[in-house]
Structure 1
Amino acid sequence: MRNPEAIECIELMVPLCDIVSDRIARYSMSRESVCLNGDHLDLLLMPIFQIGELIGGGGYLDALQELYPSDIWVQAYGMRNRIAHGYAKLKPAIVWETAITSIPALRELCLQLLED
């Protein structure tokens, strides 16, 4: 049986993943621009933070783990914690890799789970 809490969270995550991809395209971002331009970095950080906050702070972590046991949920929440509590030490290159690798993978997983 599908967990309605998990589905609700997933439905909220997909548009946040899309925001990351849209911003990369709209502002012609690259690894270099994110590492050198604080504005580009900040444009990616907020939706990534919101994804993690939704999972952990929104109380959806258990429901997501029940639906699809995976480290991806904990990793997303962990990234939120790195942004919130370690902003000064955050490496822009890690944010870039998250934006171009982890976020698209998360989006695809979410879409798969919504189809099932």
Structure 2
Amino acid sequence: MSRDALVLADYLGHIGTAIERILRYTEGLDQLAFLNNEMAQDAVIRNFEIIGEASKNVGRYFPDFAAAHSDVDFSSAYEMRNVLAHGYHQVEPEIVWKTVVEILPAFYRQIQTLLASLDEGNTAPR
């Protein structure tokens, strides 16, 4: 694997690891339990920030790769990171929960597919 592919794999790996942590931190919780658990909220938000920052790096350093995989919404992940980091005073935990439940599992599958494709050498970064 080329150096670029290794760097790209690192960014995608950071996204995957952060998603796995979120899923672990929310395992067994329903929405009400999540909304009443500040520690879980803080842990989840922190990992969404990691997902967003790594997603930004994919788009910044590998724009052709991001464009070739436009079905993977790296830009929305970064936008969410900005809201969480800069609009911290108006974060709505209900929206965070909805994202965990409704969006994150599919995003995780996409990231895993991209990582597997890089490992197999089928997707060259540009």
Unaligned runs of 5+ in 2: 118-126
Matched, 1:41 2:52: no
Query: How many angstroms does 1:15 deviate by?
Result: 1.3
Distance 2:14 2:104 in 1: 14
Conserved? CA contact 2:12–2:54, under 8 Å: no
Unaligned runs of 5+ in 1: none
1:43-91 Cα distance to aligned partner (Å, 9 max, x none): 21111111101222xx321425144124610110011001011111111
Query: How many angstroms does 1:39 deviate by?
Result: 1.9
Distance 2:39 2:11 in 1: 28
1:86 corresponds in structure 2 to 87
**1:33-112 maps to which residues of 2 (within 5 A)?**
33-56=33-56, 59-62=57-60, 63=62, 64-70=65-71, 72-112=73-113
**Structure 1 runs of 4+ with >3 Å offset:** none
1:24 corresponds in structure 2 to 26
Distance 2:49 2:97 in 1: 13
Q: Which has the larger radius of gyration?
A: 2
One-letter code aligned to 1:44: V
Aligned alpha-carbon RMSD (Å): 2.0
1:83-106 Cα distance to aligned partner (Å, 9 max, x none): 011111111111001112222111
What is the percent sequence identity of the aligned residues? 21
